[in-house]
Amino acid sequence: MTSKRVLVLYYSGSGNTRKMAKAIAEGMRSTAVEITLEEAERLDISSLPNYDIIVMGSPTYFSNVSWQMKKVIDESIVHYGGGKLKGKVAGIFTSAGTSRDGKDCLKMLELALGFHHKMKVVEGILRVDGESDREVEKRCQEYGKRLLKEMER
Ligand SMILES: Cc1cc2nc3c(=O)[nH]c(=O)nc-3n(C[C@H](O)[C@H](O)[C@H](O)COP(=O)(O)O)c2cc1C
């Protein structure tokens, strides 16, 4: 059986979202998947349809995603017409100063991937500045496992 391909894509200004991305990837580690952990600015947009699960994370900037992640989202229009991402499992995450603003950022990701691209978005997770690293790591690892389960359904 060929293994499923997972992309964990993130941007991080000061490292918090990067830590989340790494922990989500750790949680997904399994013989059944091949995981690519990639920074948003390094993504080759044409590669997106090659993945079975796409996980996207951004810091919350002004209640939204950072421009680096918005650029990826805007460029993903090339896959919109043919519905190339439709039906794939998506994960979304953010690190924010406050949970209220983090939820707004998650909503933006959900709209892009779920409403527009018609991906199956698994309810996102957020980290709030000041939370213990250990707790966040655990939440992220569990989220990775949940995404794998969703793919197997
Ligand atoms: C330019 C900028 C804008 C931000 N805007 C918000 C915001 O609107 N709401 C919020 O709760 N936190 C905001 N923050 C705080 C970050 O979301 C938070 O510190 C986050 O953990 C940073 O993640 P990172 O380390 O991955 O860059 C902002 C930070 C920066 C640098």
Instruction: Find the CATH number of the domain harbouring 14.
Output: 3.40.50.360
Residue with tokens 């390094």: 42
Task: Please give the mean pLDDT across all residues of the chain.
Answer: 97
pLDDT at 1: 58
Q: How far is CA 126 from CA 14, 95, 98, 106, 143, in A?
A: 16, 6, 10, 8, 11
81 alpha carbon to ligand 1 midpoint, in Å? Answer: 33
Angle at which helix 133-152 crosses helix 16-28, to 10 degrees, equals 40
Per-residue pLDDT tens over the stretch 33-43: 999 999 999 99
pTM of this prediction? Answer: 0.98
Pocket of ligand 1 (CB under 6 A): 12-17, 59-63, 95-98, 101, 129
Domain that holds residue 142: 4-152
Ligand 1, from 60, 100, 127: best to mutate by most atoms within 8 Å of Cβ? Answer: 60
Q: Which residue has the CA at smallest separation from atom 16 of ligand 1?
A: 96
